[in-house]
Chain A
Amino acid sequence: MAESVASDAATQQRPIRPGLFVEAGETRARPRLLGSRCRKTGQLFWPAERMNPVTHESGTMEPAEIEGGGHIVSYTVVQRGLPGYPSPYAIAAIQLDAGPSLIAQLEDWQGAALRTGMAVRLVIGTIRTERDGTRVTGPKFQPVVDT
């Protein structure tokens, strides 16, 4: 019994947090981040905010899908990370073209000659793997090499 649970877990995955992103599908060619938009100022936030922390106004937030194109502001390659994380992995501060910024791991980065200013796009990938084999998924960014 315990064995079958473990082998199920090896194929299981869960998002790092609920409500952070949507995968590509029939209506979306690319995955997108799920955040919020202020109806008054138009500013986008990721993750979604309960109220506008810039204007201090409540009741103006609505859910928003955020396009995943952007560029690298800074980056590093972590050679010795925490248990469960890939080793090595690249992580970067990303400025999205749509406005919000975030810190996320890179995908397909080896051999990409990382540099600040490099164009990247959102993919959904494995951030870490739990001890029972469950893959924890979330936003990652892939260098755009053809531009």
Chain B
Amino acid sequence: MSEVYVIGAGMTRFGPQPEAGVHDLAFDAAWAALEEAGVEPGKIDIAFAGHAYQGPCFGQKVLMRGGLTGMPILNVENACASGASAVLGIVQAIRSGAAEIGIAIGAEKLSTPAGGFLPTVADDLDSSMGRVMPAAFAMQARLHMDRYGTTREQMAMVAVKNRRNALRNPRCHMQKEVTIEEVLAAPMIAEPLTRLSCCPVSDGAAAVVVASARVARKYNPRPVRIAASVLVSGLRTPHGIVDDKSEMSIRASRKAYEAAGLGPDDVDVCEMHDPFTIAEIIHYEDLGFCAPGEGGRFVEDGRSAIGGAVAVSPSGGLLAKGHPLGATGVAQIAELYWQLRGVAGGYQVPGARVGLAHTVGGGVSKLESGACGVHILVA
């Protein structure tokens, strides 16, 4: 079984780009990743494309722009975890020996040239009953507050931190610092979550080129090893997504730590699934960065800031960089690749050697969620 390495990454700016076609956005990211890796298009053995709402044969429509045709191209949909699923596909193809080099693409475009955003399809019973995503996370917040005494101020600190990180990342959707008071005073969406507690709706694309140990160093003298690539699906639970922990995140991260031979204390930088402030607090606990119930204190004490015990979402995360559904999971791998090579620029985590990417996707009645991906990268 071959070791697997990231040898190149590309990403567009995140945020509304109503005039840009989604295939062009995705191709820009893919081509940037290929150029950085120095890989000729003919060397790509396989491609996976993750997206949620961009239509059939998406990857083919993207890659044909650069003449990348003929190889197997698999289009994968797992809601917000589509990108993580695409990365897993490439990793497994290379590990199995079926491919030497592959590319994972993730992209989403929800804004329209006419303004506003495309409606997303709800065929799920809970969703049609009115359980919009902010409501699901608000109910998580209520449980965490009642059980552990987590405060609105602690939740707001997550938004403050990620907005501050975003100021140093030119690809971010949100480029304005906010205060705790501003987060708390923003228009209420679903109590206790205000608009500044929720991620924005963004367009964007990302790509990573992944290679086997046999060829990685031919292209890149400092490839970044993918030490664990785990995807799990959700269990049937009594209240689905409404819980004060994420069982899938606990299960996926434990599997990933075991595969990598590492533990939560080894992680220097984490790109986390933080679509709402409360999610980041709960996931500190799920991923083992602190004990259950300690998540609020963890952010309050600055332990998740750049320079803290583990820098969480130094890129700005979903809350501030933006969340173009299918792009997010691939973008997290790209961010970690740059962090572990020490080239992340203004939001570089000093001395980062181990990175963890975590993403959760899909509201499904009776399940916690559709899919949860955890990847661990090592410099």
Q: Do the beta carbons of A74 and B139 come within 8 Å of each other? A: yes
- Complex contacts, B126 vs chain A, CB 8 Å: 103
Q: Do the beta carbons of A104 and B191 come within 8 Å of each other? A: no
Beta-carbon nearest neighbor of A74 in chain B? B139
Tell me the minimal C-beta distance from A36 to chain B in angstroms. Answer: 13
CA–CA, A138 and B143, complex, Å: 26
CA–CA, A4 and B193, complex, Å: 43
Q: Do the beta carbons of B239 and A81 come within 8 Å of each other? A: no
Q: Do the beta carbons of A127 and B238 come within 8 Å of each other? A: no
B:155-208 near A, CB below 8 Å? 187-193
Query: Helix, strand, loop or mixed for chain B's interface?
Result: mixed
- Complex contacts, A85 vs chain B, CB 8 Å: 130
Q: Do the beta carbons of B138 and A76 come within 8 Å of each other? A: yes
Q: Do the beta carbons of B135 and A78 come within 8 Å of each other? A: yes
CA–CA, A44 and B134, complex, Å: 29
Tell me the minimal C-beta distance from B23 to chain A in angstroms. Answer: 28
- In the complex, B303 has a CB within 8 A of chain A: no
Beta-carbon nearest neighbor of B134 in chain A? A78
Complex interface bits, A1-37 against B, C-beta within 8 A gives 1, otherwise 0 = 0000000000000001100000000000000000000
- Complex contacts, A58 vs chain B, CB 8 Å: none
Most buried by B among A53, A54, A116, A127: A116
CA–CA, A74 and B138, complex, Å: 9
- Complex contacts, A73 vs chain B, CB 8 Å: 143, 239, 242
Complex interface bits, A47-73 against B, C-beta within 8 A gives 1, otherwise 0 = 100000110000000000000000001
- Complex contacts, B193 vs chain A, CB 8 Å: 76
Complex interface bits, A104-147 against B, C-beta within 8 A gives 1, otherwise 0 = 11000000000010000000000110000000001100000000
Per the CB 8 Å criterion, the residue count for chain A at the interface is 31
- Complex contacts, B191 vs chain A, CB 8 Å: 76-77, 79
B:309-326 near A, CB below 8 Å? none
Q: Do the beta carbons of B128 and A101 come within 8 Å of each other? A: no
- Complex contacts, B291 vs chain A, CB 8 Å: none
Most buried by A among B139, B143, B236: B139
Q: Do the beta carbons of B190 and A104 come within 8 Å of each other? A: no
CA–CA, A97 and B368, complex, Å: 21
- Complex contacts, A77 vs chain B, CB 8 Å: 190-191
Shortest beta-carbon contacts, A-B, top 7 = A76-B138, A74-B139, A93-B242, A93-B239, A79-B188, A76-B190, A74-B142
Using a CB–CB distance below 8 Å, which chain A residues touch chain B? 16-17, 47, 53-54, 73-82, 85, 89, 91-93, 95, 101-105, 116, 127-128, 138-139
Besides A17-B125, A78-B189, A103-B239, 17 more A-B contacts (Cβ < 8 Å) are A54-B236, A74-B140, A76-B135, A76-B191, A76-B192, A76-B193, A79-B188, A79-B190, A80-B188, A82-B132, A91-B135, A92-B139, A95-B239, A103-B126, A103-B131, A103-B365, A127-B128
The 24 listed contacts between A and B (C-beta, < 8 Å) are: A73-B239, A74-B142, A74-B239, A75-B142, A76-B135, A76-B141, A77-B190, A77-B191, A78-B190, A79-B187, A80-B188, A82-B130, A85-B130, A91-B139, A93-B240, A93-B242, A101-B239, A103-B365, A105-B129, A105-B130, A116-B143, A127-B129, A128-B128, A139-B129
